[in-house]
């Protein structure tokens, strides 16, 4: 049987523009609707069901008109989460929210986020945040956290907000997007809606949820269709040691069904790990943790999209970013081949900091990684294929000057990547001999260190 799954949403934006606060508020406003099941507990994600969105939007979102069951927000905000968590080649997120502080405007990471969204062709909306900081803004306490109310605002304050919004709209135009304030847009298809919000007071948050649901419903319906009984597919968010459970995986399931006892393959560069799910765990609500002391409860099965903790043996070599697939009645060997050949999926993410490594084959990639590890050089991400614009964009998010580098082993550097690297000051090393590649990088580090002295 096929159905419509919950769209996965990720928050991006410049540091301090309010990603974390917005996520907290979304959780909070859903929780504020004090009904059982108001908010569904997940691992690494928060689900806001459609009836809550319908309620907080003052029935603007009519429940029976929408097929999308709700929205699943990934709890880790930022570019790094967005780019490193892949589904099949694309990003894990179906939709994104770009946070822009209206009192600060576009900043370097705002531009970066848009570049990334453009690269991944991810539909997005803009949350124009911190409207409560606009001089003279009056928060209507009665309305909060309900819909955005302009009615309390004087003409001058409204104009001030509109000007700030138009500045954002203008910047989006420069980047090649049609855009307008969300309530003036007829469709969100080729337009980026800008929603004024205050993550602090909660104003506009329901509007934001409403626009997201509308976007998901209208334009993603086909992409959100899934086989409810199909073999589960997900991405590993985190590998965690849990008391009494050993090594566990926090997984976002983006397709199909996952059951306790299922055999799964978890991607690794050489050969995926094969293991069997011992338990699927959901977090317990706070009161229950207080009463019973147990943080999780077991579930027999889970359907996409969802965040779930997976307990299984032999997880030693599994890392964040790896794909996880239920084998089902498929042939294990061909599934292994399929996972191996999905080069985009074979992302070895090792650390938050470090350089980016690219290579032509899985074998050479592993050889380069081993040599780099022997030389104590940390690797942020390693994968197969040409050096692309996407790699440069990621390297450009790195603050440490000595790590703003890409080591490319015997692969092409795409012209637009080279151009962007020059513009952003990202160093690309390219060679077909591993030790020379590493030596070149080390010499560059030494030179830069000398210069700093």
Q: How many residues bind ligand GDP (CB under 6 A)?
A: 17
What would the two tokens of residue 110 be?
Answer: 């705002």
Residue 79 found at the interface with ligand GDP (CB under 6 A) = no
78 marked as binding residue: yes
341/323 Cα distance (integer angstroms): 13
Candidates 6, 7, 12, 19; binder of ligand GDP (CB under 6 A) is 19
Residue 200 found at the interface with ligand GDP (CB under 6 A) = yes
Residue whose CB is less far from ligand GDP, 12 or 387:
12
Residue 75 found at the interface with ligand GDP (CB under 6 A) = no
Q: Which residues in 103-141 are b (16+ Cβ under 10 Å) and which e?
A: eeebbebbbbbbbbbeebebbbbbbbbbbbebeebebee
15 marked as binding residue: yes
ω before 305 within 30° of 0 (cis)? yes
* Closest alpha carbon to 358 in 424, 421, 419, 432: 432
76 marked as binding residue: yes
Task: Print the binding letters for residues 133-152 with ligand GDP: x by CB under 6 A, - otherwise.
Answer: x-------------------
Residue 13 found at the interface with ligand GDP (CB under 6 A) = yes
285/435 Cα distance (integer angstroms): 52
Candidates 17, 86, 380, 381; binder of ligand GDP (CB under 6 A) is 17
Residue 193 found at the interface with ligand GDP (CB under 6 A) = no
442/146 Cα distance (integer angstroms): 56
Residue 107 found at the interface with ligand GDP (CB under 6 A) = no
Residue whose CB is less far from ligand GDP, 204 or 232:
204
* Closest alpha carbon to 99 in 130, 134, 126, 71: 126
Task: Print the binding letters for residues 21-50 with ligand GDP: x by CB under 6 A, - otherwise.
Answer: x-----------------------------
Helix 205-220 with 19-32: angle, nearest 10 deg: 90
Candidates 6, 8, 12, 18; binder of ligand GDP (CB under 6 A) is 18
What would the two tokens of residue 107 be?
Answer: 């900043």
Residue 325 found at the interface with ligand GDP (CB under 6 A) = no
Cβ–Cβ under 8 Å, residues 212 and 236: no
Contacts with ligand GDP by CB under 6 A lie at 13, 15-21, 77, 99, 129-130, 132-133, 198-200
Could you tell me which residues are annotated as the binding site for GTP? 13-20, 75-79, 129-132
């Amino acid at each position: 049987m096929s159905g419509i799954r919950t769209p996965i949403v990720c928050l991006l934006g410049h540091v301090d523009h309010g990603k974390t606060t917005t996520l907290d508020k979304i959780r909070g406003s859903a929780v504020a609707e004090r009904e059982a099941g108001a908010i569904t507990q997940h691992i690494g994600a928060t689900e806001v069901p459609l009836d809550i969105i319908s309620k907080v939007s003052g029935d603007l979102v009519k429940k029976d008109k929408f097929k999308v069951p709700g929205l699943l927000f990934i709890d880790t905000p930022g570019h790094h989460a967005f780019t490193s968590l892949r589904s099949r080649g694309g990003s894990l997120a179906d939709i994104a929210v770009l946070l822009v502080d209206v009192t600060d405007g576009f900043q370097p990471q705002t531009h970066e986020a848009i570049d990334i969204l453009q690269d991944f062709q991810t539909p997005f909306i803009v949350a124009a945040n911190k409207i409560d900081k606009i001089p003279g803004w009056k928060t209507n306490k009665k309305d909060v956290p309900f819909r955005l109310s302009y009615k309390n605002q004087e003409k001058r304050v409204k104009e001030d907000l509109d000007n700030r919004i138009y500045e954002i709209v203008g910047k989006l135009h420069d980047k090649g997007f049609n855009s307008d304030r969300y309530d003036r847009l007829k469709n969100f298809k080729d337009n980026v809606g800008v929603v004024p919000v205050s993550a602090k007071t909660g104003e506009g948050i329901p509007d934001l949820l409403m626009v997201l649901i509308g976007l998901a419903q209208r334009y993603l319906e086909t992409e959100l269709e899934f086989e409810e009984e199909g073999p589960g597919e997900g991405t590993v968010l985190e590998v965690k040691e849990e008391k009494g459970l050993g090594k566990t995986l926090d997984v976002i399931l983006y397709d199909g069904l996952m059951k306790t006892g299922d055999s799964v393959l978890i991607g690794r560069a050489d050969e995926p790990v094969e293991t069997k799910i011992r338990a699927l765990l959901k977090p317990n609500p706070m009161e229950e943790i207080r009463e019973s002391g147990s943080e999780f409860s077991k579930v027999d099965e889970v359907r996409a999209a969802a965040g779930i903790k997976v307990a299984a043996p032999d997880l030693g070599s599994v890392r964040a970013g790896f794909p996880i697939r239920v084998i089902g009645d498929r042939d294990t060997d061909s599934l292994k081949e399929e996972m191996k050949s999905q080069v985009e999926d074979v992302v070895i993410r090792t650390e938050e900091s470090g350089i980016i490594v690219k290579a032509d084959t899985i074998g050479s990639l592993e050889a380069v990684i081993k040599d780099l590890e022997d030389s104590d050089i940390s690797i942020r991400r390693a994968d197969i294929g040409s050096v692309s614009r996407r790699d440069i964009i990621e390297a450009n998010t790195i603050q440490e000057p000595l790590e703003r580098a890409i080591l490319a082993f015997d692969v092409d550097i795409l012209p637009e990547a080279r151009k962007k690297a020059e513009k952003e000051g990202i160093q690309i090393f390219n060679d077909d001999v591993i030790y020379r590649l590493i030596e070149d990088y080390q010499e560059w580090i030494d030179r830069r260190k000398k210069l700093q002295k």
